[in-house]
Structure 1
Amino acid sequence: MTDMRIAIVGGGPGGLVLARVLHRHGIAATVLEADPSPTARPQGGSLDLHPESGQRALREAGLERQFRAVARPEGQDLRILDPTGAVLVEHTSADDMARPEVERTGLRDLLLDSLPAGTVVWGHRLDRADTRPDGTPRLTFADGTTAGCDVLVGADGAWSRVRPLLTDAVPQPSGKIGIDLGAVAADHPAADLVGRGSLWVIGDGVVLSGQRAADGTVRVHLSLRADRDGPDPTAGWSSTVTALADAAEGPVVRRSHAVLPVGLTWAPQPCVTLLGDAAHLMPSVGEGANQAMLDALELGLAIAAHRTDPDAAIRRYEQEMFARTAPIAARCAAVESMMLGPTAAADMTRFFAGGPVGS
């Protein structure tokens, strides 16, 4: 590869939003993505995009109409049950755009379609990043090839290869384990339990969830507190709710969740910065992608405002990002702890009713 002015490592929502914002301001950027193609692997479930963050980023990137075309307002419906099958919360949305769901694949496609051909370079897995003698970044890829750039943005997720240029912080286990159980066919009777949106069955340290996809299928997932990990974490639960897990088909994928320290900062460094999970990996309770997209918007606008001084743009962006994301990460940690706590069912019921929790 030849040298690039702005290299964005990672073609997730954050990296693509940044490329789109820069493009709208007449600034070229290259997105380096490890996947060999846009269809190389499934993108996962859907996201609820918040008006003040994810939706704002798409709106200011000129993509509100495209987003509305793929958004699913009905996906905001939420049903919470206890392990006996008793309904604790039944939230039916007004089919508005407060926090609509959007399939990750649909979001990625609309962002890719908004970029000039060749913006995303596929099949470039970063092995390491270091600094050239002139102080600018150098990228070494898994195939041994190298390239340089004037500005490097790490949008490459939890295990970022760009982050070591800025900090020695690494993700640590959060105490949560996630297990994808597969999908339930849209016409299977067990899928009816979920409704149009999402279902949570909350026990002590165990949450069984189902999420309706755009094609009608239901993705099924288990979240466990680490000490509840075992051969049958839903033992003793009603067959009414475990039927959903029993009906799931597909590969079972197990993940140990990790987080970065809340309030992580670093001293500004020339030519390089981070966004999204690479900068502030937090518990997965609905903020990660939204904050990554808002990071991308703020960084893109800062670069556009300081075209001849990217280091000034990075300093401005990082100061805002540090201040904004630290309290959000702390809140996400508190919500995850509550959802997996011994009184989670009662706490989440009070949470959605607007009352005090933790009693």
Structure 2
Amino acid sequence: MTELPPVPSSFPSSEQVARASDVVVLGGGPAGLAVARLLHLRGVTPRVLERDAGPHARSQGGSLDLGERGGQLALREMGLHERFEELARPLGQRLCLMGPDGEVRMTVDEEAGEYRPEIDRVQLRHLLLDALPPETVTWGARVDEVTPLPGGRHRVSLADGSRLDADLVLACDGIRSRARPLVTAARPAYSGITFVHGDLRDPGPGSFVARHTGEGILHALGDNRAILAQRSADRSVRVYFAIRAAEDPTRSQGERFEDADAVRDHLRGTFAGWHPDLLAVLDEIDGDFAYWPLYGMPAHQRWRPRSGLTLLGDAAHVMPPFSGEGVNMALLDAVELVRALFAPEHRGLDEAIAAYERSMLDRMVEVVHRSYAGADLLLNPEGTAPLLKHFAAAGASVPGER
């Protein structure tokens, strides 16, 4: 395990959470592990409940780009930025924009815009796990219910029948958060966009999609359809087939398709008329296809005051991934919450939580709007034209523009 650095002198110090003897974090994703790390640095080691059977139980998905004022800021506060820089891939910012005819419309290199290097989700998870005592995370802990108790405490009931009571519950349990109904009536709504994704685990030298993905990403955009590809650190390429379509009520998010050939046939029909070199990637995918409908919370939310409990990350503000801000905002949530909990101007936990929630909800309004605006740039009737106009309006240097 990585040796824990000393608490930076800039950290505020108080005893705001000294009486919260039992702190439980729901979820071992980026938000949950980050808030656990930040609390641990301040002498409070929470119990993290994670439904995965272990750290290697499943694929964590593709890569994440961490911004300077979001994920990177959080990692600096956690004392982990140096290790992040060792793992991060600046070349992962490179973008190749292509039409359905297979012609490149634009390329943008890593020097354009904010410095947002990529890191694989699994690498980020292990970076955060290595910075915590091994006993912090309880694996295979599926939360069934969160119930209020007298005095601002809560009872967390698990699927195996066990229960634990907590002074402070930090819900980082994602889109299906069991704690969310306690603070808001708002629920995630289907965005109208569905991903079907698969992986090129060992792409060959003749792969058209892998070659144009390069070290970064490929966006092939057509009429309300897109083929999006992203390079991972292990040299594999994750490919997303994105369409505007009605949600399939017979399937659940993340479900694997049993009949890969049927999925290939369906996608060939959906992307009929696209260049054969682009569609050839369907036969290169050497694993299962997965169903991934995209959901989002409203930009403006109203939360009820709730003693001893709050939400972070996707549990608080899940949104479609088109602004690249989901994990950045989750990590920033952890920073802002822990700062509030230890700020001397807040008289008690409830006041600190309320301050965090006001700031976070205000911050997320613009971010959620940007996410849906990003969806419209990538999936629209005009294909690549809106994104090209967006780059031109932003004054981006776009070598290779056609």
Bucket of the pairwise TM-score, normalised by the shorter protein = over 0.9
Structure 2 alignment gaps of length 5 or more: 1-19, 249-265, 396-402
Q: Which range moved further: 254-263 or 138-147?
A: 254-263
Is 2:99–2:383's contact at 8 Å kept on the other side of the alignment?
Answer: no
Query: What is the deviation of 1:95?
Result: 10
Whole-angstrom distance in 2 between the partners of 1:53 and 1:296: 11
Q: 2 CA distance for matches of 1:141 and 1:163?
A: 16
**Residue 256 of structure 1: how far off its partner (Å):** 1.7
| C-alpha contact (below 8 Å) 1:184/1:244 kept by paired residues | no
Matches of 1:93 and 1:101 in 2, distance apart?
A: 11
| Partner in structure 2 of residue 124 of structure 1 | 141
Paired residues for 1:4-43 under 5 Å = 5-43=22-60
Residue 184 of structure 2 corresponds to 167
SS state at 2:161 partner: coil
- The 1:262/1:208 distance shift into structure 2, 3 A limit, reads same
Percent identity over paired residues: 40
SS in 2 for 1:210: strand
Q: How does 1:54-203 map to 2 (within 5 A)?
A: 54-94=71-111, 98-190=115-207, 191-203=210-222
Q: Say which of 214, 217, 222 aligns to 2:236.
A: 217
Distance in 2, Cα, partners of 1:197 & 1:123? 34
Q: Does 1:313 align with 2:313?
A: no
- RMSD (Å) for aligned C-alpha atoms: 2.1
1:349 paired with 2:368, answer no
Q: Output the TM-score relative to the length of structure 1.
A: 0.94
Alignment partner of 1:189: what SS? coil
Residues 182-209 of structure 1 show CA distances to partners (whole Å, capped at 9, x for unaligned) of 2252334112121111001000111101
Alignment partners' CA distance in 1, 2:228 and 2:306: 42
Q: Is the 8 A contact 2:321 2:371 kept in 1?
A: yes
Q: Taking structure 1 as reference, are residues 27 and 97 closer, same or farther at Cα in structure 2, changes over 3 Å only?
A: farther
Q: Which residue of 2 aligns with 1:284?
A: 321
Please name the residue that 2:340 is paired with: 302
Q: Deviations over 1:121-153 (max 9, x none)?
A: 111110010112333111100111110100111
Q: How does 1:243-254 map to 2 (within 5 A)?
A: 243-254=280-291
Q: How does 1:222-237 map to 2 (within 5 A)?
A: 222-226=241-245, 231=267, 232-237=269-274
Deviation (angstroms), 1:110: 0.8
SS in 2 for 1:293: helix
Which stretch shows the higher mean deviation, 186-195 or 293-302? 186-195
Question: Is there any run of 5+ residues in structure 1 with no aligned partner, and where?
Answer: none
Structure 2 SS opposite 1:305: coil
Amino acid at match of 1:85: G
Cα distance in 2 for partners of 1:28, 1:274 equals 18
The structural deviation recorded for 1:96 is: 10
Instruction: Select between 239-248 and 324-333 the one with higher mean Cα deviation.
Output: 239-248
- Corresponding letter in the other structure for 1:309: G
Query: Which contiguous aligned blocks of 4+ residues in structure 1 show a shift greater than 3 angstroms?
Result: 94-97, 227-231
SS in structure 1 of the partner of residue 74 of structure 2: helix
Opposite residue 144 of structure 2, the aligned amino acid is D
2:384 counterpart SS class: helix
Q: Which residue, out of 32, 51, 62, partners 1:45? A: 62
CA distance 1:221–1:42, shift in 2 (3 Å)? same
> SS of 1:93's equivalent?
coil
* TM-score normalized with structure 2 length: 0.84
Aligned length: 354
